[in-house]
Amino acid sequence: MTLTADRKLALRERFMTVDTANVADVLDELGLPDCGLSSDLWPIKSRLEKMGGWAYTIRGQMTPYPGTGDPKKMDAVSGLTPGHLSVWSGGGAEGVCFFGELIARGMQYRGCVGALVDGGIRDIEWLDRMNFPVYTRYRTPVQSIGRWEVNAWQVEVYLPGATSARVRVRPDDFILADVDGAILIPQEVAEEVLTRAEALTEKERLIRADLEAGATLPDVLAKYGHV
């Protein structure tokens, strides 16, 4: 079933209230154990912030080319809509930045809610001042123009995984990232995963309340089962 734009935004707001750890546990229960993304993808802000949105994929590659810009990159980001999270794939640790502050501002203006970059970024001081979360593989002052070029967008891409070498990311899969790392939720199970993660979050809240009230760990395990 295709989700409407309004439904996607509503689900995103709910996803922002659950933790990646609970989402990961639910995915394990559903037989989807390899959705975690590599811990090499780290948040740029000094305080670790949460990020979540529907994947809008942008793919590129290292390739020498003439010119003073990357028009394909501009075309790619022009398709972003509210609730999208830009996912940049193409080359991993190649030593150049895929984007910086100015393009991030343009993406944010279109309603993009963050960026997950399997590559490099720059202008980190300015990005840090924006209300725009970014998780990336590395930092570098070296621009991509003439070196790295966008070759496709809104296609299936691969990102490095936590428990597997690669995780396939498709347009409109959901990406959630927080202090524990980043994880992919396949679009077909996004609503089920969210509902079950919300229930698990509530169970944990009750367990904490019981422990703070004096219950022992064996008491809460007997009452609630393993969490």
pLDDT digits (tens, 9 = 90+) for 72-102: 999 999 999 999 999 999 866 678 998 899 9
Give the predicted TM-score (pTM) of the model: 0.92
- Please give the C-alpha separations between residue 167 and each of 12, 16, 37, 162, 202, in angstroms, as whole numbers: 21, 22, 7, 9, 29
Asked whether residue 90 is marked as a ligand-binding residue, the answer is: no
Asked whether residue 217 is marked as a ligand-binding residue, the answer is: no
15-43 average pLDDT score? 96
Asked whether residue 123 is marked as a ligand-binding residue, the answer is: yes
**Selection from 111, 54, 120 nearest residue 88 by Cα:** 120
Asked whether residue 101 is marked as a ligand-binding residue, the answer is: yes
Q: Which string of b and e fits 142-152 if b means at least 16 CB within 10 Å?
A: ebbeebbbbeb
Asked whether residue 180 is marked as a ligand-binding residue, the answer is: no
- Say which residue, 83 or 69, is predicted with more confidence: 83
Q: Give all domains of the chain, ordered by start, each with its CATH number.
A: 5-187 (3.50.30.40)
Cα-based angle 43, 150, 55 (whole degrees, multiple of 5):
50
125-155 pLDDT, tens digit each: 999 999 899 999 999 999 999 999 999 999 9
111-116 average pLDDT score? 97
Asked whether residue 207 is marked as a ligand-binding residue, the answer is: no
